[in-house]
Chain A
Amino acid sequence: MIPPSFEYHRPTDVAGALAVLAEHGDDARVLAGGHSLIPMMKLRMADVPHLIDLQDVAALKGIDISGDQITIGAMTTQHELIASDALHAAAPIIREAALQIADPQVRYMGTIGGNVANGDPGNDMPGLMQCLDARFTLEGADGTRTVAARSFYEAAYMTDRDDEEILTHISFAAPRGGYAYEKQKRKIGDYATAACAALIERDGDKVAAASVAMTNLSDIPVFSEAAAAALVGSACDDAAVKAAVGAALEDIDPTEDNRGPVEFKMHVAGIIISRAIQRAWSRA
């Protein structure tokens, strides 16, 4: 658990960070909270000769809520997400999900940017961001671009982000209606056996709009359009939930690990998805 040696850079603005990235290319990586990257370095699974610590880049921090538009700086910690009452009022699903990530010590350090940029299928924020239809803003030498969370993930640890780009902030519209983030894990500090984010808007007795996304059930987070379609227009009764769960299960592809074999994960995923939908509906 001793990393190889590395150079430590600590820029104070995005331009400074981009300059180091440009200079060292593949040999450089940004460091946010370090709670995914540093363990990888200590296990010598990641070799990072140039580490660019972003903690002094003030521009990457903070939560901004203007009207129904929410913008969160990449370096905002999970703890800060939980602590923000304004964010909780605007998008309560964030606190509910963030409280299920790791433990307080990890959440004091871990950032939303690191969580979504990491590309680990076990991270909870990517699925949540897909559910919220969030957009990620990336800044590189050639300027700034925006990518939808729903099309950002390519494979485990592979994202649409270019190695020389920095994720600066995340934005999404405040969700309306009911919400739920349901997660099964073996213990505190564990990644999901299965997790599901659900948002449901209600119109009278019927589902007006829905969004369902899942965590750690494929090599990337999974947004299930079909699950949402199965709910919209229904009364979110047993048959509709069953149809939605069936559709969502079609979209996932879990693998066996110490949490259990595929058969078990598929079953548990079904339970977790239906609970998320039912809880979101009960709050809609």
Chain B
Amino acid sequence: MNDLTPDRDERVANLKGLGCSRKRVEDARFTQGKGNYIDDISLPGMLHGDFVRSPYAHARVKSINTDAAMALDGVIAVLTAKDLEPLSLHWMPTLAGDKQMVLADGKVLFQGQEVAFVVARDRYIAADAVDLVEVEYEELPVLVDPFEALKSEVVLREDLDGQTEGAHGPRKHHNHIFTWEVGDEAGTNAVIDDADVVAEETMYYHRTHPCPLEPCGCLASMDKVNGKLTLYGTFQAPHVVRTVASLLSGIEEHNIRVVSPDIGGGFGNKVGVYPGYVCSIVASIVTGVPVKWVEDRMENLMTTAFARDYWMKGRISATREGKITGLHCHVTADHGAFDACADPTKFPAGFMNICTGSYDIPIAYLGVDGVYTNKAPGGVSYRCSFRVTEAVYFIERMIEVLAIELNMDAAELRRINFIRKEQFPYQSALGWEYDSGDYHTAWDKALAAVDYEGLRKEQAERVEAFKRGETRTLMGIGLSFFTEIVGAGPVKNCDILGMGMFDSCEIRIHPTGSAIARLGTISQGQGHATTFAQILASEIGIPADSITIEEGDTDTAPYGLGTYGSRSTPVAGAATAMAGRKIRAKAQMIAAYLLEVHDDDVEFDVDRFVVKGAPERFKTMGEIAYAAYNQAIPGVEPGLEAVSYYDPPNMTYPFGAYVCVMDIDVDTGVTDIRRFYALDDCGTRINPMVIEGQIHGGLTEALAVAMGQEIAYDDMGNVKTGTLMDFFLPTAWEVPNYETDHTVTPSPHHPIGAKGVGESPHVGGVPCFSNAVQDAFRPFGLRHTNMPHDHWRIWKTANGLGLHDT
């Protein structure tokens, strides 16, 4: 007979499983400066690499003279494209099916492009040697505007000259990359042309950058004795890096070990493969010693993957009552010098076709044209699933513009058009199946929480006071309702370079009842070691505190596609739950044997199996684990381990309702965010505290992008915002107080009903901040003005509306 204390509630609490605001286990080391980032790793005899970079955005490279650099004491090698060419490594494939120069091969196509790679005994000598490499350039005409590029005679990619077929179909012009179309264009045009009301708008979603706190870097170590290459680096997808490294280098995949150590933020910036990685590997192979390369902040901002840079032209139609009838969207996408977007292969504009948003729009069309310009390559999803930030910004602006056209309240217009609860699973006009949602409930809750009616009344009074000359401050109410599409993704339509986008988890239960689980993902600050242990705790009845989570070492972790696009919980989290269930199934057999009953006569109860109807007869998971290793059980193999590779049946569709209240000084353009309310529905909530942290972070990055953060170029292709003096990274000072809230609509197809949340606040936040600015000026006739809403652009808007005339 067993003791029945502690009681059930206490046993549940002890697990710290689903729903527990468990403190992050990672933070002990991060808050004490004990993290282990790429630049903390040092190997004996290690050399240091640094790049000679192009000062020009477009130029022919006439000659490169490395003599003076090589003569400097401590310089080991200077690599140029000529040195990489015999290995066929002077170019490398991109994730988007294009190729990219590793080192300048005859010309440079963007400012900061890698021209030569210096390898030296220490980091200082490497930097000195960079200054000594003499490069002779002949400047070429620069194209920084995609519309110009599509008309220009100037051929940017001479390597592709004459190729009329690209990775995603026909190319219309020598600077054109692809056209991607979804939906029914003729049908959509017919509906819009006939509609009662049509709103049109063109908006530019400016180029920006994920700017993780830690820049990119790697440390390559080729062991010539055993033929093994070890590559440490800031990789959001270490397993994919291993496969790509093997394909490029010809080194067999079992001889390559890729390790992602602690990563200081990624936000999409660390998904791609950069020239620094290739050069470090080559340099280590050539020298036979480890070679480290870590970029600095300016290199990160100017050369590694940017985000956005979409020109979006929309037409939306509705009945006079406000029911939307059709949506047409065309995007001119500036991809820079090489198409290095990180999207699933079949989606050259990511999931931009989620641009019908949260609304029941019967017919729609999306066309995207990708264009080459003299800007850095990239086009990653900065804290959003693939291009979802662009899509949601587009539709949330179109809704506002339509509301103006209809002379209707924008909150009401949204309510009229939301997909209704009973329509889920919902087939969108552009091809997605939304898994679950309850938009009306979320919207009503959000509007009630902020007293929306009261805010509108206050705003109207403010406008009157402004007109009477009693105040120079306007008030904006920003609304946004978003639907994310995360968890790429079903292998049938989602792959990267041919690798299906499943993910994985492998669990080992130790004899004394603790466990280790390894996943194919990699945390960059999301807190996986905390939350995945919680999923497992609830599945297998072992306390989260007794479960180690490990990721990022390809020699030990199961293969997975990595962490980006809010896919870790939807995909690897599902794999974790499924692997846990395999453990539980075996544990059930063991428990039944130990309790001398039939398998079906025991059931799982929190942290144990009990004989049905006899709760005092049970075996705890600890006892079961011990028996699994130490007792001969007929017909059951020893050990307690499981692996699951999870191919999700569908994406998950988190959603949310945000409201921002902002005061704007029309004379100076200075803004003050008075209130920000964020309701998120990410399905089952694993750790509310971690969710809250993710939302605060995502909103702060949304604030940055909407209010000032940009990668701006001048006409010569010079980056104007290459340092943190000009590139806006908000601090605690600029960040408002966030009020968070939630509803819970589980995903019907995910094993635990979870949907992913890391990127939602960014996706929903950007249009919310932007709409607040635009809404403030709506009473004075503004339809649309582009982000970022920094002081001078807001001032310009006010000025253009005549608000400075006295």
Residues from chain B with a CB closer than 8 A to the CB of A193 are 791
Q: Is the CB of B127 within 8 A of A2?
A: yes
Q: Which of A28-36, A57-65, A257-265 is found at the contact surface with chain B? A: A257-265
Q: Is the CB of A1 within 8 A of B731?
A: no
**Is A271 part of the binding interface, using a Cβ–Cβ cutoff of 8 Å?**
yes
Measured CB to CB, the nearest residue on chain A to B793 is A260
Shortest A81–chain B CB gap in Å is: 20
Q: Which of B140-148, B482-490, B720-728, B752-760 is found at the contact surface with chain A? A: B720-728
Q: Mark A99-135, 1 if CB is under 8 A from B, else 0.
A: 0000100000000000000000000000000000000
Q: How far is the CA of A193 from the CA of B791 in the complex (A)?
A: 10
Residues from chain B with a CB closer than 8 A to the CB of A184 are 668, 670, 791
**Is B24 part of the binding interface, using a Cβ–Cβ cutoff of 8 Å?**
no
What are some 25 contacts across the A-B interface (CB < 8 A)? A1-B298, A2-B123, A4-B127, A4-B128, A5-B124, A103-B731, A184-B668, A184-B791, A186-B728, A186-B790, A187-B733, A188-B731, A188-B733, A188-B734, A189-B731, A258-B712, A264-B791, A264-B792, A267-B667, A267-B795, A267-B799, A267-B804, A268-B667, A271-B667, A271-B668
Q: How far is the CA of A258 from the CA of B286 in the complex (A)?
A: 44
Q: How far is the CA of A1 from the CA of B294 in the complex (A)?
A: 11
Q: How far is the CA of A2 from the CA of B129 in the complex (A)?
A: 11
Residues from chain A with a CB closer than 8 A to the CB of B733 are 103, 187-188
**Is B184 part of the binding interface, using a Cβ–Cβ cutoff of 8 Å?**
no
Q: Mark A172-190, 1 if CB is under 8 A from B, else 0.
A: 0000000000001011111
B123, B298, B668, B796 interface centre (most CB from chain A within 10 Å): B668
Q: How far is the CA of A258 from the CA of B730 in the complex (A)?
A: 17
Q: Is the CB of B734 within 8 A of A187?
A: yes
- Which residues of A192-226 have CB atoms within 8 Å of chain B's CB atoms? 193
Q: Is the CB of A260 within 8 A of B708?
A: no
By the criterion of a CB under 8 Å from any partner CB, how many residues of chain B are at the interface? Answer: 33
Q: Is the CB of A258 within 8 A of B721?
A: yes
**Is A44 part of the binding interface, using a Cβ–Cβ cutoff of 8 Å?**
yes
By the criterion of a CB under 8 Å from any partner CB, how many residues of chain A are at the interface? Answer: 23
Residues from chain A with a CB closer than 8 A to the CB of B127 are 2, 4
Shortest B715–chain A CB gap in Å is: 14
Q: Is the CB of A44 within 8 A of B731?
A: no
Measured CB to CB, the nearest residue on chain A to B472 is A271
Q: How far is the CA of A186 from the CA of B123 in the complex (A)?
A: 34
Q: A2-B124, A44-B131, A267-B804 are in contact. Are A259 and B734 (CB under 8 A)?
A: no
Residues from chain B with a CB closer than 8 A to the CB of A4 are 127-128, 131
Residues from chain A with a CB closer than 8 A to the CB of B790 are 186, 260
Q: Mark A243-284, 1 if CB is under 8 A from B, else 0.
A: 000000000000000111100100110011000000000000
Residues from chain A with a CB closer than 8 A to the CB of B724 are 189
**Is B296 part of the binding interface, using a Cβ–Cβ cutoff of 8 Å?**
yes
Q: A1-B297, A186-B791 are in contact. List 18 more A-B contacts (CB 8 A).
A: A2-B50, A2-B123, A2-B124, A5-B124, A103-B733, A184-B668, A184-B670, A186-B728, A189-B731, A191-B725, A259-B791, A260-B791, A264-B791, A264-B792, A267-B795, A268-B668, A268-B795, A271-B667
Q: Which B residues fall within an 8 A CB radius of A?
A: 50, 123-124, 126-128, 131, 296-298, 667-670, 708, 712, 720-721, 724-726, 728, 730-731, 733-734, 790-792, 795-796, 799, 804
Shortest A259–chain B CB gap in Å is: 7
Residues from chain B with a CB closer than 8 A to the CB of A271 are 667-668
Q: Is the CB of B792 within 8 A of A261?
A: yes
Q: A1-B298, A2-B123, A268-B668 are in contact. Are A260 and B734 (CB under 8 A)?
A: no
Q: How far is the CA of A103 from the CA of B724 in the complex (A)?
A: 14
A4, A189, A191, A264 interface centre (most CB from chain B within 10 Å): A264
Q: Which A residues fall within an 8 A CB radius of B?
A: 1-2, 4-5, 44, 103, 184, 186-191, 193, 258-261, 264, 267-268, 271-272
Measured CB to CB, the nearest residue on chain A to B725 is A190
Measured CB to CB, the nearest residue on chain A to B731 is A188
A190, A258, A271 interface centre (most CB from chain B within 10 Å): A258
Residues from chain B with a CB closer than 8 A to the CB of A2 are 50, 123-124, 126-127, 296
Q: How far is the CA of A99 from the CA of B123 in the complex (A)?
A: 37
Residues from chain B with a CB closer than 8 A to the CB of A5 are 124, 128
Q: A187-B728, A187-B733 are in contact. Are A258 and B795 (CB under 8 A)?
A: no
Q: How far is the CA of A260 from the CA of B712 in the complex (A)?
A: 13
Q: Which 3 A-B pairs have the closest CB atoms?
A: A260-B792, A2-B127, A188-B733
Measured CB to CB, the nearest residue on chain B to A260 is B792
Measured CB to CB, the nearest residue on chain B to A265 is B792
Measured CB to CB, the nearest residue on chain A to B728 is A187
Residues from chain A with a CB closer than 8 A to the CB of B791 are 184, 186, 193, 259-260, 264, 268
Shortest A126–chain B CB gap in Å is: 19
Q: A186-B728, A258-B720, A258-B726 are in contact. Are A264 and B296 (CB under 8 A)?
A: no
Q: How far is the CA of A103 from the CA of B795 in the complex (A)?
A: 26
Pick the contact of B708: A44, A186, A188 (CB < 8 A): A186
Q: How far is the CA of A5 from the CA of B733 in the complex (A)?
A: 36
Shortest B307–chain A CB gap in Å is: 19
Residues from chain B with a CB closer than 8 A to the CB of A1 are 296-298
Shortest A152–chain B CB gap in Å is: 25
Shortest B481–chain A CB gap in Å is: 29
Shortest B276–chain A CB gap in Å is: 15
Shortest B89–chain A CB gap in Å is: 26
Shortest A6–chain B CB gap in Å is: 11
Q: How far is the CA of A190 from the CA of B734 in the complex (A)?
A: 12
Q: Is the CB of B708 within 8 A of A187?
A: yes
B297, B724, B725, B730 interface centre (most CB from chain A within 10 Å): B725
Q: Is the CB of A260 within 8 A of B731?
A: no
Q: A258-B720, A264-B792 are in contact. Are A187 and B731 (CB under 8 A)?
A: yes
Shortest B343–chain A CB gap in Å is: 31
Measured CB to CB, the nearest residue on chain A to B720 is A258
Measured CB to CB, the nearest residue on chain A to B295 is A1
Measured CB to CB, the nearest residue on chain A to B704 is A187
Q: Is the CB of B796 within 8 A of A264?
A: yes
Measured CB to CB, the nearest residue on chain B to A190 is B725
Shortest B509–chain A CB gap in Å is: 47
Measured CB to CB, the nearest residue on chain B to A258 is B726
Q: How far is the CA of A268 from the CA of B721 in the complex (A)?
A: 22
Q: How far is the CA of A259 from the CA of B796 in the complex (A)?
A: 12
Residues from chain B with a CB closer than 8 A to the CB of A258 are 712, 720-721, 726
B734, B795, B804 interface centre (most CB from chain A within 10 Å): B795
Shortest A266–chain B CB gap in Å is: 11
Q: Is the CB of B730 within 8 A of A187?
A: yes
Residues from chain A with a CB closer than 8 A to the CB of B712 are 258
Q: How far is the CA of A188 from the CA of B726 in the complex (A)?
A: 12
Q: How far is the CA of A2 from the CA of B670 in the complex (A)?
A: 36
Residues from chain A with a CB closer than 8 A to the CB of B795 are 260, 264, 267-268
Residues from chain B with a CB closer than 8 A to the CB of A190 are 725
Shortest B216–chain A CB gap in Å is: 15
A1, A5, A190 interface centre (most CB from chain B within 10 Å): A1
Residues from chain B with a CB closer than 8 A to the CB of A191 are 725
Residues from chain A with a CB closer than 8 A to the CB of B721 are 258
Shortest B596–chain A CB gap in Å is: 67
Shortest B692–chain A CB gap in Å is: 24
Shortest B72–chain A CB gap in Å is: 12
B124, B669, B799 interface centre (most CB from chain A within 10 Å): B669
Q: How far is the CA of A261 from the CA of B793 in the complex (A)?
A: 10
Residues from chain A with a CB closer than 8 A to the CB of B126 are 2
Q: How far is the CA of A193 from the CA of B796 in the complex (A)?
A: 15
Q: How far is the CA of A2 from the CA of B49 in the complex (A)?
A: 13
Q: How far is the CA of A258 from the CA of B712 in the complex (A)?
A: 9
Residues from chain B with a CB closer than 8 A to the CB of A259 are 791-792
Q: How far is the CA of A267 from the CA of B123 in the complex (A)?
A: 47
Residues from chain A with a CB closer than 8 A to the CB of B728 are 186-187
Q: How far is the CA of A110 from the CA of B126 in the complex (A)?
A: 30
